[in-house]
Amino acid sequence: MIRTDLPRRILIRRGSSCSRRTMKNSRNKTAEQTARFGMFVALAMIMSYIETLIPFSFGVPGIKLGLANLVTMVCLFTEGILPAAAVSLTRIVLVGLTFGNLSSMLYSLAGGILSLVCMIAAKKSGLFGRTGVSIIGGVMHNAGQLAVAAAVVENANVFWYLPVLMASGIVTGALIGLLAALVMERLPSF
């Protein structure tokens, strides 16, 4: 309710104070979102690095735990689609530039984008829980990388790896999904 009996400059000051308060809250929210984004990217990069230190090999190229996907899953379910996509793509590019090469970045981008799109679709469908979404992500990541491998070597024989990579995507996706569920249970709501 506006009082018309007050001098005009008081009315203007009160109005500008409210808008300043709103701007300050908006800046705080933007700063908080930026800090969270940085935290998620840093955690994903750390997980990618830790994964390189773990001696995990089944004799088939391309099988990895996918620890960085744990961060993507938590971000997808706590922050939403756009922040998860930004974190995932930023992490792939930064890890590729820092620890890999252009070839590894190409494989990671193909797997990461396909995985992310399928995880978003699975989450939006409402048919899958966290573990199901993660399994789909693991399987689709392997499928995306295998498709790039087939295109690079110009030979469809690489698809003989498909059953092994799908099985590993299911197992590692389930593990990451269960871990993500445990992490999200323990996170404070923010």
Write out pLDDT tens, residues 74-86: 999 999 999 999 9
How far is residue 52 from each of residues 10, 77, 100, 106, 118, measured CA to CA in Å?
63, 26, 11, 18, 25
- CA–CA dist 20, 27 (Å, integer): 10
Q: What is the CATH number of domain 32-186?
A: 1.10.1760.20
Give the model's pLDDT for residue 24: 62
Q: Give per-residue pLDDT as tens, 126-183.
A: 999 999 999 999 999 999 999 999 999 998 888 888 899 999 999 999 999 999 999 9
Q: Give per-residue pLDDT as tens, 82-110.
A: 999 999 999 999 999 998 888 889 999 99
Verdict on whether the full-model pTM lies above 0.95: no
Does 20 have pLDDT greater than 60?
no
- CA–CA dist 138, 168 (Å, integer): 8
Give the model's pLDDT for residue 80: 92
pLDDT-derived band of residue 190, with 50, 70 and 90 as boundaries? Answer: low
